[in-house]
Amino acid sequence: MPGPGLTTWRRSLDSAGIHDPALRRDYGVQRRLVARERRSSYLAARLLLPPALLPHVVAATAVMHHGDDLLDTGPKPQRVAAWASWEQRVRKALETGAGDDPLIRTLLHTVAARPRLRAVVEEYLATADAELEFSGFATEGDYQAYVDAYSMPAFMLVGTLVGPEDDDGRFRAACRTLIDGAQRLDFLNDLAEDLREGRLGIPEQTLQRYGVTVGDLAAGRVPEGLRALLDDQLAVARASLEAAREVRALTPPPHRPLLDAVIGIELLTADAVRSRGPALLLRGSARPPLGGTLRILRGARRGGG
């Protein structure tokens, strides 16, 4: 007998009008990947989204996750070649309407069901190679350019699906504020991992302001100004995330609980990062407590639209 999660999934496929057995299997492949690699995101989507939208959000999330893997894994020549091949395959599939693997086939079906997603996918394909060139930022302006080129188009793969049919620009602007805060928080939380990979998401001018050097951080030394630096950047990230709450009023009521939860979990993560502080260098990324995450999900579900 299938568990409650699988039963919910099958009902979601039915609600979305996905009846072809082969296509259902293709979407199932993406569900398993997203549930494994982005567990909290999948749980939030399963609990909070209308059933008919869940398979499409899963497909878009799987595309984003696959792109992240191609752009981040291995030596740069390997990443460049892998991304170029993937981009070419997706563009060909969009032109012909035919795909050669489960992920591309689910993407094509979701684009057909939600046609406004096509332009977002094309924007993402056109700008995602900014991640290939990322090796750190000299200035805050460089960081903001990265958010525009990579973080924002990637986020909008899902953001477009939950946003209004006719956006006058305000929803996209609120999403930009949200992803600015989330990306800044990610760079702080991934401090140790990014240092091992030889790149840092905190701008050099910000490091200098607090007397912190990449050399100190890479060597595992904790400079005197690191706590103040982290507190400053966390405050900036939190301010963006709090300001992004305006996205709620710009979102169709059935989709508001998911965005409420996304922002709430990001703020909970910010608390966990602040608690860990300079120990991020030694202990790695911090996670929000499971109990707090579940409370946010329950609260978002009760809040409805």
- In this prediction, residue 74 carries a pLDDT of 87
Q: Decide if 285 is inside a domain.
A: yes
- In this prediction, residue 4 carries a pLDDT of 55
- In this prediction, residue 1 carries a pLDDT of 40
From first to last of the 305 residues of the chain, give the pLDDT tens digit.
455 567 889 999 999 999 999 999 999 999 999 999 888 889 999 999 999 999 999 999 999 999 999 998 888 999 999 999 999 999 999 999 998 899 999 999 999 999 999 999 999 999 998 999 888 999 999 999 999 999 999 999 999 999 999 999 999 999 999 999 999 999 999 999 999 888 899 999 999 999 999 998 988 888 899 999 999 999 999 999 999 999 999 999 999 999 999 999 999 999 999 999 999 988 889 999 989 999 999 999 987 66
The verdict on 208 and 89 lying in the same domain is: no
The verdict on 154 and 7 lying in the same domain is: no
Q: Cβ distance 152 to 176 under 8 Å?
A: yes
- In this prediction, residue 40 carries a pLDDT of 84
- In this prediction, residue 135 carries a pLDDT of 87
- In this prediction, residue 273 carries a pLDDT of 97
Whole-number Å distance between alpha carbons of 155 and 239: 19
The verdict on 108 and 141 lying in the same domain is: no
Eight-class DSSP state of 245: G
The verdict on 209 and 293 lying in the same domain is: yes
Percent of the chain with pLDDT over 90: 84
Going from the C-alpha of 247 to that of each of 175, 259, 260, the distances in angstroms are 7, 8, 9
The verdict on 12 and 79 lying in the same domain is: yes
The number of distinct structural domains making up the chain is: 2
Q: Decide if 126 is inside a domain.
A: no
> Closest by alpha carbon to 160, among 195, 117, 193, 207?
117
- In this prediction, residue 3 carries a pLDDT of 53
The verdict on 280 and 148 lying in the same domain is: yes
Q: Decide if 30 is inside a domain.
A: yes
Domain that holds residue 230: 134-305
Q: Cβ distance 214 to 200 under 8 Å?
A: yes
> Closest by alpha carbon to 247, among 146, 179, 152, 157?
179
The verdict on 103 and 146 lying in the same domain is: no
The sign of the torsion formed by the CA atoms of 26, 12, 248, 261 equals: negative
- In this prediction, residue 282 carries a pLDDT of 81
Domain boundary among 54, 82, 114: 114
What burial class does residue 23 get, using C-beta atoms within 10 Å of its C-beta: 0-12 exposed, 13-18 middle, 19+ buried?
middle
CATH number for the domain spanning 201: value is: 1.10.600.10
Whole-number Å distance between alpha carbons of 177 and 244: 6
